[in-house]
Amino acid sequence: MSNQEKHWEKSRGLLMITLAIWFIFSIGIFLFGAEMNKVTGPFGYPWTYWFTCQGSLGAFVILIFWFANRQEKIDEEFGFSEREDE
Amino acid sequence: MKQGNFIDNLPKIYGIYTGGFIGFIIIMAIAEQMGMTAKAIGIAFVAFTVFIYALIGYLSRTAQADAYYVAGRQVPTVFNGMATAADWMSGASFVAMAGGIYFKGYGYMALLVGWTGGYVLVASLLAPYLRKFGCYTVPDFIGTRYGGNLARFSAVVVLTVASFTYVTAQINATGTIASVALDIPFQYAVYIGLISILLCSMLGGMRGVTWTQVAQYIVLIIAYLLPVFWISNKMGAGFFPHFMLADEVARIGELESQFGFVKNSAADLATVPKGLAGITKAHSAVNATPWAFISLALAMMMGTASLPHVMMRYFTTPSVKAARKSVGWSLFFIFLLYSSAPMLATLSKLSLIDPTLSTGIIGKSIAEVQAIDWYQNWNQANLMFISDFNGNGTVELNEFFMGGKAVVLATPEIAGLPYVISGLVAAGGMAAAMSTADGLILAIANAISHDVYYKIIDPKAETAKRLVVARVLLVVIGFAGATIAAMEIQGILGSVIWAFDFAMSGLFFPLVLGVWWKRANRQGAIAGMLGGLAAGTWYLVWVRTGGSGFLGITQLTFGIFGSAVSLVAMVVVSLMTQEPDKATQKMVDEVRVPSGKTILGKQ
């Protein structure tokens, strides 16, 4: 397998993990919204309510920065990162 | 303006700008104490901020295609994040979102999740790859990846349908705010809004829009957060509302069960002015089925990743790496406002319905409420209404009605904040609507001038001529949008949601598969774009004309049906026709790695 194929395979793996985490916070939680809302969540808000107005939103922000860093590492590993002067 | 120096000095320039704006707020506050009228303050806020944007637009004038279309590809990560956030957060986010949450609670908050979660798709599936492509517009990517004028033209069609639906809503919002702040009829205010919008983008194209959007973000975020924190502190609800409103949320639940949700008769509701609503849904309880919530969130997420005016912001970053990081910053800046909207809705609702608070009106006598100053003002503006349906002389929960916009616009006044805050909020709403309208009009005008005029009609056109065409289109599209906005056909929020559905119906899969599926070819992409758009439009028309719909897909989520048809059409047609040639496959390979020249830069 060429260098480029390996790079793409790893990038695709990262995409799958990213989308899985995205799925949990954007869809997974809300499949059980009614049940989970009975539980007291962070800062004393009902659990599902908190995720809809803060938790999931914050998780997405962190997820994107995490993804960007991981992808940069992958690019560096295979020598595909951009030179600074480009 | 020397570009190199300018980029290095950005933090300083915008630092001074922010300081200046805060100084202006303080001056206005002092002027209010000295007796400046509320109306004069409103005019001063809107006029001053619009003047600054126009000045930035003028300073950013350019005659170069690269600067006009992609701001010279040198916008730093964090600033591009701010510009995207302003581009993204429209009049709907600023003015209507807290109101929607106020009335519909949990079910409505699917929009919060959808309008943020979509950025994960943007960052991981699309933005870095399209940046590597080096295109000027989204149809530019489609046209080059799939080849042929028909594919390019189909993408322009989808882009125009989606963006135009969106932009009429934004011009409508600028008109609404300008008409309230300047006290002129809506039909004229719409054109004043339009001229302000064009002042930012006409001379500098993407460069002008970028630097005005950063300035607009700063105004809109101050205008949104300051009142939320102030009201929270004034009510004693907590110093930092986001972490401290659990008791208030619980208290609202308590009051709701105490009052009960009484259903009004149709005859009673007919007396309520159009567009106003009462509280009929629980504030924090889960009041929507999982599918109703998830389908709306999903439609908004896929729509986010297909809207060209957002995508093209990531064409302006210096590198692929910067494009990825920039998506993160965009969402961070959006998060600041979106996480505050539910808090504002909570504070606003509690201050109105809690009888133990001095601002509460439920349980007071009708005559007493009708005598309150702010009630009279907002009642006159057709945004508030009470009526004694049961004839007991006091205001009940089901007898109080408000417009969605009033939650953001009126809450500072209800909570007893000085008028300077209301002026600030008007300026913020204006900034939000203007920045989005600018991005959208530019996206349409650029697609038509670059993809239709330059790439299809006259490939030999000189830069100067291309930019003249682009600017003429900008004005024409702006006026067309304003004319439709002046007719007031649909509400702000409904048409915004439709725009997302149109975009995802036609563009989501052709864009994503263009990067992630080498086998996708021209015929498939054309089938995907046109089939998806046609299916989505058909579904919308069908449901609007009394069709029952299926699978719980409503007129707000028709993009789910449209994009499913698009996916199937694209895969089936691609597999039935020849696979793309070697050159195209090699191009896709190159898009997938960040290093090296951009695809279009090589040609």
Residue B583 has pLDDT above 50, yes or no: yes
Whole-angstrom Cα distance, residue B173 to residue B171?
5
Residue B1 has pLDDT above 60, yes or no: no
Tokens of residue B426, six digits:
């008007």
Has the ipTM of the complex gone over 0.90? yes
Residue B56 has pLDDT above 80, yes or no: yes
Q: Which domains does chain B have, with CATH numbers?
A: 3-264+274-350+417-500 (1.20.1730.10)
Reference B128, options A71, A55, A59; nearest CA is A71
DSSP H or E run through B90 = none
Instruction: Say if the Cβ atoms of B297 and A30 lie within 8 Å.
Output: yes
Q: Does B332 touch chain A (CB under 8 A)?
A: yes
pLDDT band for B2, please (50, 70, 90 cuts). very low
Over range B540-548, report the average pLDDT. Answer: 84
Residue B474 has pLDDT above 60, yes or no: yes
Tokens of residue B267, six digits:
């005859």
Q: Are B69 and B136 in contact (CB under 8 A)?
A: yes
Q: Which residues are registered as beta bridge partners of B384?
A: B402
Per-residue confidence (pLDDT) for residue B566, from 0 to 100: 93
Q: What's the full length of chain B, in residues? A: 603
Out of A27, A32, A75, the one facing B594 most closely (by C-beta) is A75
Instruction: Say if the Cβ atoms of A72 and B321 lie within 8 Å.
Output: yes
Which of A34-43, B429-438, B439-448, B584-593 bottoms out in mean pLDDT, i.e. has the lowest? A34-43
Q: What is the DSSP letter of B386?
A: E
Give tens-digit pLDDT for B273-321: 777 887 777 777 777 788 888 999 999 999 999 998 888 889 888 888 8
Q: Are B188 and B33 in contact (CB under 8 A)?
A: no
B26 to chain A, closest Cα gap in Å: 31
Residue B147 has pLDDT above 50, yes or no: yes
Q: Are A18 and A63 in contact (CB under 8 A)?
A: yes
Helix (H, G, I), strand (E, B) or coil at B542: helix
Over range B59-64, report the average pLDDT. Answer: 82
Instruction: Say if the Cβ atoms of B242 and A54 lie within 8 Å.
Output: yes
For B355-378, give one letter per residue: b (16+ CB within 10 A) or e: eeeebbbbebebeebeebebbeeb
Instruction: Say if the Cβ atoms of A56 and B243 lie within 8 Å.
Output: no
Residue B351 has pLDDT above 50, yes or no: yes
The 10 Å Cβ neighbour count of residue B534 is 16
Out of B116, B286, B301, the one facing A57 most closely (by C-beta) is B116
Give tens-digit pLDDT for B74-93: 888 899 999 999 989 887 78
* Residues contacting residue A52 through CB under 8 Å, at least 6 positions apart: A30, B106, B109, B110, B112, B113, B342
All residues of chain B having their beta carbon less than 8 Å from the beta carbon of residue A75 are 321, 593-595
Whole-angstrom Cα distance, residue B494 to residue B357?
34
Residue B3 has pLDDT above 60, yes or no: no
- Nearest Cα residue in chain B from A32: B290
> In Å, how far from its chain's centre is CA B28?
28
Per-residue confidence (pLDDT) for residue B283, from 0 to 100: 79
* Residues contacting residue B337 through CB under 8 Å, at least 6 positions apart: B85, B89, B93, B94, B220, B221, B224, B225
Q: Does A70 touch chain B (CB under 8 A)?
A: no
Q: Which amino acid is at B603?
A: Q
Instruction: Say if the Cβ atoms of A61 and B332 lie within 8 Å.
Output: yes
Q: Are B429 and B409 in contact (CB under 8 A)?
A: yes
Task: Count Cβ atoms within 10 A of the Cβ of residue B274 and give its class: 0-12 exposed, 13-18 middle, 19 or more buried.
Answer: exposed
Instruction: Say if the Cβ atoms of B112 and A57 lie within 8 Å.
Output: yes
Domain chopping of chain A, boundaries: 12-77
Residues above pLDDT 70, as percent of chain B: 98
Q: Which amino acid is at B160?
A: T
Residue A84 has pLDDT above 60, yes or no: no
Q: Does B302 touch chain A (CB under 8 A)?
A: no
All residues of chain A having their beta carbon less than 8 Å from the beta carbon of residue B125 are 15
At residue B486, what are phi and psi to the nearest 5 degrees?
-65, -20
Q: Which amino acid is at B476?
A: V
Q: Does A1 touch chain B (CB under 8 A)?
A: no
Distances (CA, A) of A82 to A72, B43, B71, B262, B318: 10, 49, 20, 62, 11
Which of B94-108, B146-160, B475-489, B514-528 bottoms out in mean pLDDT, i.e. has the lowest? B475-489
Q: Are B518 and B142 in contact (CB under 8 A)?
A: no
Whole-angstrom Cα distance, residue B332 to residue B336?
7
At residue B581, what are phi and psi to the nearest 5 degrees?
-70, 170
A17 to chain B, closest Cα gap in Å: 11
Task: Count Cβ atoms within 10 A of the Cβ of residue B16 and give its class: 0-12 exposed, 13-18 middle, 19 or more buried.
Answer: exposed
Q: Are B323 and B127 in contact (CB under 8 A)?
A: yes
The average confidence (pLDDT) of chain A is 86
Q: Are B177 and B220 in contact (CB under 8 A)?
A: no
All residues of chain B having their beta carbon less than 8 Å from the beta carbon of residue A48 are 106, 286
pLDDT band for B332, please (50, 70, 90 cuts). very high
3-state secondary structure string across B576-597: HCCCCCHHHHHHHHHHCCCCCC
pLDDT band for A85, please (50, 70, 90 cuts). very low
Per-residue confidence (pLDDT) for residue B491, from 0 to 100: 65
**∠ Cα A63 A65 A67 (to 5°):** 65
The 10 Å Cβ neighbour count of residue B51 is 12
- Nearest Cα residue in chain B from A14: B124
Per-residue confidence (pLDDT) for residue B333, from 0 to 100: 94
Give the A:B interface size as CB pairs under 8 Å: 147
Q: Does B559 touch chain A (CB under 8 A)?
A: no
Reference B118, options B251, B311, B346; nearest CA is B311
Whole-angstrom Cα distance, residue B449 to residue B457?
10
Residue B565 has pLDDT above 80, yes or no: yes
Mutation site, B73, B102, B124, interface A, largest A CB count within 10 A: B124
Q: Which of residues 3-62 of A touch B (CB under 8 A)?
A: 4, 7-8, 11, 15, 18-19, 22, 25-27, 30-34, 37, 43-46, 48-49, 52-54, 56-58, 60-61
Tokens of residue B467, six digits:
């930019």
Per-residue confidence (pLDDT) for residue B529, from 0 to 100: 92
Whole-angstrom Cα distance, residue B332 to residue A68?
14
Over range B115-136, report the average pLDDT. Answer: 90
Per-residue confidence (pLDDT) for residue A86, from 0 to 100: 44
Q: Are B360 and B400 in contact (CB under 8 A)?
A: no
DSSP H or E run through B400 = strand B400-403
Give tens-digit pLDDT for B264-273: 777 777 777 7
Tokens of residue A64, six digits:
């994107």
Helix (H, G, I), strand (E, B) or coil at B296: helix
The average confidence (pLDDT) of chain B is 85
Out of A30, A37, A60, the one facing B120 most closely (by C-beta) is A60
B400 to chain A, closest Cα gap in Å: 25
Instruction: Say if the Cβ atoms of A68 and B121 lie within 8 Å.
Output: no
Mutation site, A1, A4, A25, A30, interface B, largest B CB count within 10 A: A30
Whole-angstrom Cα distance, residue B204 to residue B530?
33
Out of A15, A61, A81, the one facing B595 most closely (by C-beta) is A81
Give tens-digit pLDDT for B311-325: 888 988 888 888 999
